[in-house]
Chain A
């Protein structure tokens, strides 16, 4: 697959567009369909396409496995941090109104931030799934060669 010129050219053209679209549905999710969940999956899809065309090792150079472990926790921690910030500033858990003076802006800030957290977690977990399965395949192939 790596030596197929058409695939390489089309992928090189498409991957940035897919990533841009992921960011669009991430940060425009309050106005148009979308949100963290979809954006995370689409972003991970772009990375997986890169991995399919250029190989998993190059893809892991871009986003290392260790970064995935960290980021998937960072995502849910961002979510929890927003929730706890509401408590600290005098509201309920995940109450966004205390965060900013204007209640509408506070709600928007809260929504964008928690969606970002969800997006990071979903994207990295999806990449991790793919990495795990591919490495498992590579390992079992390597073991078979030994026999």
Chain B
């Protein structure tokens, strides 16, 4: 599927996110499905539309394919696919993921905390320093957007004349 219309691309991305959320819901991963639906399909789409209001609607046409970039992408993809061959068997109960701390969380969450949602227990208690890091990531993202867009471009105080010097003055005032 290929589109140069960025609005179409954003909408397809939102649909893709919503389908992923449905997939997670089918897999009984309620927390992940909720996150994907709220963040992936909801807020990301709105923010991308907000960006689209600032940029042209069509993607710029590339004159010819970028061969070095294409080579890098294909090589990386091939390496990643090769790496998946070493994965443990899907769903095998002896996999490291099932034998490390997972059983402890499954068996002891209720005794430790008295709450049934193991995801909340892992995120907010067993692995709470990770979640604190996530909070700081969000805060940093907010600060970064503020640093990039927060400096309001004031309107020039003197009404600019319809002349070259006027627009120059305005550009100076913008900075």
Contacts and interface: CB of A to CB of B under 8 A. Distances in A.
Q: Does A pair with B?
A: yes
Contact of B135 (A75, A133, A143): A75
Given A45-B38, A76-B139, A111 B53 contact: no
Interface stretch (B2-10, B61-69, B85-93, B153-161): B153-161
B138 interface: yes
B103 interface: no
Interface in A85-116: 93-94, 96, 103-105, 107-108, 110-111, 114-115
B167 interface: yes
A132 B120 contact: no
Interface in A129-147: 129-130, 132-137, 139-140, 142-143, 146-147
Contacts of A32: 30, 117
A25 B160 CA distance: 52
Interface residues of B, number: 50
Contacts of A29: 117, 120
A23 interface: no
Interface residues of A, number: 58
B39 A128 contact: no
A107 B117 contact: no
Given A31-B117, A33-B34, A128-B145, A45 B153 contact: no
* Secondary structure call for the B interface: helix
Q: List the 7 closest A-B pairs by CB distance, nearest first.
A: A33-B30, A133-B50, A125-B142, A104-B114, A30-B115, A107-B113, A111-B124
23 contacts: A30-B117, A31-B117, A33-B30, A34-B34, A35-B123, A35-B124, A37-B134, A48-B46, A76-B132, A79-B132, A105-B114, A107-B114, A108-B113, A114-B131, A117-B135, A118-B135, A121-B139, A121-B142, A122-B135, A129-B47, A130-B46, A132-B149, A140-B153
Interface of A: 25, 29-38, 41-42, 44-45, 48, 69, 72-73, 75-76, 79-80, 83, 93-94, 96, 103-105, 107-108, 110-111, 114-115, 117-118, 121-122, 124-126, 128-130, 132-137, 139-140, 142-143, 146-147
Interface of B: 30-31, 33-35, 38-39, 42-43, 46-47, 50-51, 53-54, 112-117, 119-121, 123-125, 128-129, 131-132, 134-136, 138-139, 141-142, 145-146, 149-150, 152-153, 155-156, 160, 167, 170, 174
